[in-house]
Amino acid sequence: MLIQTTLSPHDAFDASRLRRRLIELAHADEASVTGLRLVSRSVDARQRNIKVNVKAQVYVNEPMPDVAYEAPRYRDVHGARHSVIIVGSGPAGLFAALHLLENGVKPIVLERGNDVTERKRDIAALCRNIELNSDSNYCFGEGGAGTFSDGKLYTRSNKRGDISRVLQIFHHHGAADNILYEAHPHIGSDKLPAIVKHIRQTIIDCGGEFHSKTRVTDIIIREQRAVGCVTAQGGEYIADAVVLATGHSAHDIYRMLINHHMPLEAKGFALGVRVEHPQELIDNIQYRQQRGILPAAAYQLVTQVQGRGVYSFCMCPGGHIVPATTDASLCVVNGMSASHRNSPYANSGIVVEVRVEDIPQHYASRGALAGLYYQRDVERMARRAAEQGNTFAAPAQRLADFCHGKISASLPSCSFVPGLVSSPIHQWLP
């Protein structure tokens, strides 16, 4: 029986109270209920009296199915006639590999970085200001930028179609049930590595190949088709086709494509800062009361300033700001949060759109890569601005000082472990 109702936060988020309320609403008795499954849950905090909309299936005197979706069917590709090389094991590469398995094609995944276990050690060394492994960090390595990402699985864009199959595939590989019903599904950086490992195991068990520490330096083109790759480790791989799933940070791959005279086009992007507040402040603003049993509150900002889009990006309630560079001469930060979102900080990217025509003229000689060179120069400036701090420290400024064009005399505590250096960010950010 499908129950659709509106509950108080306590009834919706306390598991035993929720169970009791749903059984009541189904007019059933405890003994006849064989199972309960949430279909959707969303918090409506527009009014002072916060409500939670809940949809659930209550199974009464009938068996509850194991899962609410059709499990993916991955085929055995040990003897497959066709194979495809996938360069990069980020979300795009891993999902491409799974898609090939569903279609009986053997994926050969080539990944420049370390596996998730070693990668955790590389990231710990980075956060402790010891060293940056340029092939294994927050962006590179098994699972790509996705492994230690926040794991938010929703999008503001309504052009992306139905993402429920993506959620089901994550669930099939070990993500918690709640990603299937929460309005804003979130896995958390603490849970993602195990899921990535599980996906790798699916690929290997079905007969695919997974090579970590294997950096592609060139593609082999025959009769105008990409059919293979050359690696920095001296290997050569040949298949029917090549999928480049190397993400945004692999600038070497863009340069390799230019060397092959591939048609590339510059596109606009967004540039900005991470803003951090105490999570309690965000909770009090969004819920107009203490959070209590409710999840850490999120926010989003979309506005126009002088005809230009300014917006929040990848808001991480109860999260951390992390050093996300792949190059020790640059400073890049990003945000993440664990599944319980229980850090005392809330951070978000606040970015401004940079149009192709905004890129300073002196980058024009870089052609399609002009934006990348401009971005790198801003990131280099950020690194220099924090030079007198720890090795991977980041420049920082109080938000009010940034708005008033004033250097901050002191900085508050922050989730960013490598350290901060007070800096006039307003002077060098576009």
Ligand X SMILES: Cc1cc2nc3c(=O)[nH]c(=O)nc-3n(C[C@H](O)[C@H](O)[C@H](O)COP(=O)(O)OP(=O)(O)OC[C@H]3O[C@@H](n4cnc5c(N)ncnc54)[C@H](O)[C@@H]3O)c2cc1C
Q: Which residues bind ligand X (CB under 6 A)?
A: 87-93, 110-113, 138-141, 144-146, 148-152, 215-216, 245-250, 253, 314, 322, 324, 334-336
Shortest separation between residue 142's beta carbon and ligand X, angstroms: 7
203 φ/ψ angles, rounded to the nearest 5 degrees: -60, -45
Q: Tokens 């606040």 correspond to what residue? A: 350
Rank residues 144 and 418 by Cβ distance to ligand X and give the closer one: 144
Q: Is 229 helix (H, G, I), strand (E, B) or coil?
A: strand
Integer angstrom CA distances of residue 172 from 72, 98, 163: 8, 12, 15
Shortest separation between residue 143's beta carbon and ligand X, angstroms: 7
Rank residues 83 and 334 by Cβ distance to ligand X and give the closer one: 334
- Buried-exposed string 228-240: b where 16+ CB fall within 10 A, e elsewhere: bbebeeeeebebe
Helix axes 370-385, 251-259, angle to 10 degrees: 150
Rank residues 137 and 286 by Cβ distance to ligand X and give the closer one: 137
Shortest separation between residue 87's beta carbon and ligand X, angstroms: 5
Q: Tokens 């309960």 correspond to what residue? A: 36
Rank residues 33 and 101 by Cβ distance to ligand X and give the closer one: 101
Shortest separation between residue 152's beta carbon and ligand X, angstroms: 3
| DSSP β-bridge partners for residue 272 | 351
Rank residues 11 and 190 by Cβ distance to ligand X and give the closer one: 190
Integer angstrom CA distances of residue 362 from 239, 357, 358, 359: 41, 12, 11, 8
Shortest separation between residue 373's beta carbon and ligand X, angstroms: 18
Shortest separation between residue 45's beta carbon and ligand X, angstroms: 21
Rank residues 246 and 422 by Cβ distance to ligand X and give the closer one: 246
CA dihedral of 103, 108, 114, 116, whole degrees rounded to 10: 20
